[in-house]
Structure 1
Amino acid sequence: MRKAAKILLPSEDSDSNQRFSHLMSSRTFYGNKKKSLKLGSIVHQKDSDRYFLCVQPICDSVRLEGKRVFVFVQMEKGGQDDGDNASHVVILSDGAVQELVYQPKSYLSFTSTFSPDRAAQEVIAETDDNGAPFFQDTEGQRFYWVDQLRASHAQRAVERFASDLSRVGLTEAEWLRRLARS
């Protein structure tokens, strides 16, 4: 797709497409409201240079009275070498564009436990010395807030994850399995 766009629209700026894609799928924040960890939060674990999408239902992210386990699915870096693999675009704190690939697979999921802010009853981001917002789990790992997907985009990601989890694995004749696909 990316190569076709360069051929058909040679004057088209890839950066503009990426930034427009980001605007269409990411929530806009006004003011200095602190970030909270919930469905659709994209975080970056800098130590391992891995990105994660929070798939925790919003109802399980609010009114927290104690520690809570949050569910994440790892996202891979995309858009390298003119590849067509990108499902989300985020704008990093330095203004750089990063394409990410969301693959809703159970083997890419993981959980981490967080303690909520007592007053807000949510997991609220702290800021590091450079002013970057991060969430710290109960084991001291930092997950830097990168983006917040719009509700509909986050819900689509969860639906895809749930669909993958609900696949039925069974033993059947290869001949019949191939016939069923056509």
Structure 2
Amino acid sequence: MKKILLLLIIPFLSFGQISVNKNIKIEKKIKPELIGEFRSMGTTYVECNKYRNNETADYYSFTFRNADSKNIEELHEFGFYDLDNAFENFSAMCLDGFEKLDNYFSINVPDGELTVRYIKSPALGRAMYFVYTENNMSYKTHLITKNKAKKLFGKDQRFPNLLDNFKEQDEQFRREK
């Protein structure tokens, strides 16, 4: 009889431990779209993601490893909304800096300040790096060459999409007929 009572009581005790809060609303997570990244030897040093948002402007985030840290897992992030074509302007300023003799420029981002610095390296030629300052703490990226910067901003056209070229040629051929 005791065993039967135990078999009946134990299932009720275990159901009593599960609680569901129906008032919690689960927000739909926005999946990031990878724009580009700077990788070397299988390690990602800087990554650019785009978060699409139909209600407001898209958000661009840059996640990077701190070059000054010995901890390889230490990641930092800065980002901004694409108001007034901000991402295109930022990428153009960064890529133009390789051609100009300017050593740096700074912009304000929502949580801090971002400085883009350029140096001339004997091994790499001209290279840039980001210095992100937040709460009086500075974090910097590894050196980024011009080709790596193009990949980071999604501007690398060394391997264009062949399907797009085919569609353009097909449209041009149809117009000529």
TM-score range, shorter chain: under 0.3
- Give the TM-score of the pair, scaled to structure 2: 0.23
Structure whose alpha-carbon radius of gyration is higher:
2
Q: Which has the higher strand share?
A: 2
User: TM-score scaled to structure 1, two decimals?
Assistant: 0.23
Structure number with greater CO (CA < 8 Å, separation at least 6) is 1
